[in-house]
Chains A and B, each alone.
Chain A
Amino acid sequence: MNPNDRRYSKEHEWVLVDDAAAGKATAGITHYAQDQLGDVVFVELPKLGAAVKFMGKMGEIESVKSVSDLFSPVSGEVIEINERLLDHPEIANQDPFGEGWLIRVAMSDASEIDNLMTAEEYEAFTSGLS
């Protein structure tokens, strides 16, 4: 269920390096995260050009009954945000690994990704959670 092409954080974000040569990556929340949140109704993302830090707070995500911080799984500069998600937050529930992506980042240190979990490790991590 968790795609093998990307890495995962303990805060339930994923990061996919989609242009290794240019050091660009896309980040989002996992299926597990959207399932735990329930219906997402509001997403707050960093601004274009903002600097994000590895595992630093970059925004918020709210469901009807709860609110959680979003953490960036890589450091760098925000080069794209998912504008469509701001108007249609339900996409985060429907397609968290695809259309529900959050931001694209020009990474400042691609080696950070090595600190994150593989799909298999993340699977084991979430199965140990309630």
Chain B
Amino acid sequence: MFSPCAETGLELSSNPRFRQPSHPPPPFQAFPKGAVLAQDLLKTSLYTTHLAMGARTVPFGGWDMPVQYSGVLAEINAVRTAVGIFDVSHMGRLYITGPKATEFLDWVLTGSAHSLAVGRARYCFICNETGGVIDDTIFYRLEQDRYLLIPNAGNRNTVVTWFQRWLAEKFPSGCEIGDRTMDTALIAVQGPQAAKLVDRLGRLSDGSPTSSLRPFSWGEGLLKGKKFFVGRTGYTGEDGFELVVPASNAVSVWEALVDGGALPCGLGARDVLRLEAGFPLHGHEIDEETSPIEAGLQRFVRFDKEYVGAQVLRQQREEGVQRTLVGLTISGRSAPREGYAILGEGRVQVEEVGRVTSGSYSPTLDTSIAMGYVLERYATPGQTLAIDIRGRVIQGEVVPLPFYTRAK
């Protein structure tokens, strides 16, 4: 999702003076082949609204997206204590429709489509033949033979190509993929006051309040008199909703949410929120070379059906993996950044036992946190490890994920 700006994507400043120093060398190439030119970046239907509201934007997954409005700390705080909104229209909206839609999704997803009831949603992975993660996704069962699937922004084209390949190979004319990313908007409304806010603005078609939706279910209704789709989903670790509206209605819905008290938030805040909640980000914790088993995400993987990558995943579950994703808390506020070495007591001396995949100061917990891969024998909670923060070796401890769980 972060490519092509893997490790630099969410810094505020375009001035190299205020970007990450080159020590240690970045783990991924920032701009693999030819930097993305500003005029080639896609813009969401809310783009001019963001600029008018003072947002600062950065290239992200091929889009020019808001990274912050009022300030990352204030935005994180709004989502944890009140309500914040995010334009996440850069993520894809793929509609999969046809008599073989369920069978097809069961083949390309690690989660089960056939056992998902109409009206419900599920988080899982799209894996390749070696169990690596092409993308992570939330998909909604709209009807018996119709689904909405949300891929990450930077992976949308890869996912569509991957799906087309398997459709042609295994399910010819079994279903169709409709990409509605460009003519719809996706707005996330997140935080403990999200339910109150969406209830004030609209109702579901049957007249019931929007907040009557259970987590990981969806509905349709009228918001400010306009039709909208709403899932009780999100990626911040808070209660919340994700709204799909026609692109032409996006600005009025956004403004209504702001008028209703929501704080506009950017991708900078979103990245810290998902990290605090222990959620992986594609291109960081998970990628085509990393399996959900290594990432400790087997709860989103079915082992009782056949699909792309299933054999490898089953084998990894039985035989174990060499390295595994852990959460680390680090004393102080200096943040481990992606690519930094994780150090442990080896048999002879202190040695590198892993690498950080994401790290940040966590304002919610008031300590620094990180996720990273370490050798299996260092992965037990309570294990003391250290992180080399640009030459300073700072003590840390393996902790169970997530770092943050909301009070229910």
Contact = CB atoms under 8 A, between A and B. Distances in A.
Interface of A: 11-12, 33, 36-39, 41-42, 44, 60, 62-69, 89-90, 129-130
A65 B11 contact: yes
Contacts of B68: 38
Interface string B17-33: 11111000000000000
A67 B335 contact: yes
Q: Which 4 A-B pairs have the closest CB atoms?
A: A36-B13, A42-B333, A36-B18, A66-B11
Nearest to A86: B333
Contacts of A89: 333
A37 B56 CA distance: 12
17 contacts: A12-B17, A36-B17, A37-B12, A37-B18, A38-B12, A38-B72, A39-B73, A41-B361, A60-B334, A60-B390, A62-B333, A64-B335, A65-B268, A65-B271, A66-B18, A67-B335, A68-B17
B337 A67 contact: yes
A42 B361 contact: yes
Contacts of A129: 15
B126 interface: no
Contact of A66 (B13, B272, B333, B334): B13
Given A63-B12, A64-B361, A69-B21, 15 more contacts: A36-B18, A38-B268, A39-B72, A41-B333, A42-B334, A42-B335, A60-B334, A62-B333, A64-B272, A64-B360, A64-B363, A65-B10, A68-B17, A68-B18, A68-B19
Given A11-B17, A60-B390, A64-B272, A38 B71 contact: yes
A44 B361 CA distance: 15
Which of B13, B19, B268 has most A Cβ within 10 Å?
A: B13
Nearest to A32: B15
A89 B17 CA distance: 19
A25 to B, nearest CB: 22
A101 B361 CA distance: 22
A64 B337 contact: no
B37 to A, nearest CB: 14
Contacts of B178: none
A59 to B, nearest CB: 11
B71 A39 contact: yes
A72 to B, nearest CB: 15
Contact of A62 (B14, B67, B361): B361
B332 interface: yes
A39 B268 CA distance: 11
Interface string B61-90: 000000110011110000000000000000
A98 B13 CA distance: 23
A39 B360 CA distance: 12
Contacts of A67: 20-21, 335, 337, 390
Which of A36, A60, A65 has most B Cβ within 10 Å?
A: A65
A73 to B, nearest CB: 14
Given A42-B332, A67-B335, A67-B337, A37 B13 contact: yes
A96 to B, nearest CB: 14
B153 to A, nearest CB: 18
Contacts of A62: 333-335, 361
B315 to A, nearest CB: 38
Which of A33, A41, A42 has most B Cβ within 10 Å?
A: A41
Contacts of A63: 12, 72
A36 B67 CA distance: 12
B72 A64 contact: yes
A4 to B, nearest CB: 23
B320 to A, nearest CB: 35
A129 B15 CA distance: 7
B73 A130 contact: no
A39 B332 CA distance: 16
B55 to A, nearest CB: 13
B72 A65 contact: yes
A40 B21 CA distance: 16
Given A38-B68, A38-B72, A41-B333, A66 B361 contact: no
Nearest to B271: A65
A123 B405 CA distance: 46
A64 B268 contact: yes
A90 B71 CA distance: 11
Contacts of B67: 65
A33 B18 contact: yes
B334 A36 contact: no
A112 to B, nearest CB: 20
A28 B17 CA distance: 16
